[in-house]
Amino acid sequence: MTPEELAAVGLRLDLDGPVATVTLDRPDVRNAQTPAMWLALGEIGRTLPDDVRVVVVTGEGETFSAGLDRAMLDPSTSGEESVIGLLSLSDEEASARIEEFQRGFTWLRDPRFVSIAKVRGYAIGAGFQLALSCDLRVVADDAKFSMKESALGLVPDLTGTKPLVEHVGYARALEICATARVVTADEAVRIGLATASVPGDQLDAAVADLAATLVAPMPGVVPETKALLQGAADRDLDEQRRLERESQVRRFRAVAAALA
């Protein structure tokens, strides 16, 4: 997509060598998200250059994302960008449409790169789920997470439930989702939701330092490691050690080729 097309849906993509930064750029509505934005995020994932090794996701201004644009819940909003529009579809069609929206989140798990959510201020609902889609979350000390869907009579459906359980466990994930309460930056670090919390004026530097560290190893090392760790909890030891062996053979050959 062109910069103009991305801007039209409230997104910005900046490429700086191996680091790509995706910015939610609707600060006037606290970076509220729309279906058009989700579709464009999926397109960014499909067309990202192969040499990108780190993806940073952030929000313009003082809020990461206030979640779903409330206009989608307004009965006067027409088309599939509204709940009314989705309800006009069959169950199968509505589910397929939501699956398209989910692709705007799932691409951030691609083993080709490490994704980092740089969060300041509120990350609510869809904003929380976007942050959860990233591999790592580095947050300002004013960050506040909330899975607000239950307060609206809805459930989280933008791929946030699985990583939330993986990070904090079933019981705490249920409590966070069912109560729609706020999780502060300090608690997020303590329970494993966030990698680190820093003062707001240090957030940019902290994420830049982390990105630089992640691109420092020889190309291929971090993707192989990410692929090994993803799903490790669901594999038995024999399967995991087989994957380790196969990965290491590829790394030995890559290192040998580089030294030749």
Residue 149 is among the residues annotated as catalytic for this protein: yes
How far apart are the C-alpha atoms of 60 and 89, rounded to whole Å? 34
How far apart are the C-alpha atoms of 21 and 197, rounded to whole Å? 20
| Residues of the chain falling short of pLDDT 50 | none
Place of tokens 């313009």: 60
* pLDDT tens per residue across span 82-131: 667 788 889 999 999 999 999 999 999 999 999 999 999 999 999 999 99
What is residue 245's predicted lDDT score, i.e. its pLDDT? 97
What is residue 236's predicted lDDT score, i.e. its pLDDT? 97
- pTM, whole model, 2 decimals? 0.94
Q: Domain 3-216's class? A: alpha beta
Q: Identify whether the C-beta of residue 53 lies closer than 8 Å to the C-beta of residue 222.
A: yes
Is the Cα torsion angle 168, 173, 179, 180 positive or negative in sign?
A: positive
Q: Which of 43, 60, 93, 149 is catalytic?
A: 149
Supply 186's token pair: 């300090």
Boundaries of every domain in the chain: 3-216, 221-259
What is residue 2's predicted lDDT score, i.e. its pLDDT? 95
What is residue 203's predicted lDDT score, i.e. its pLDDT? 98
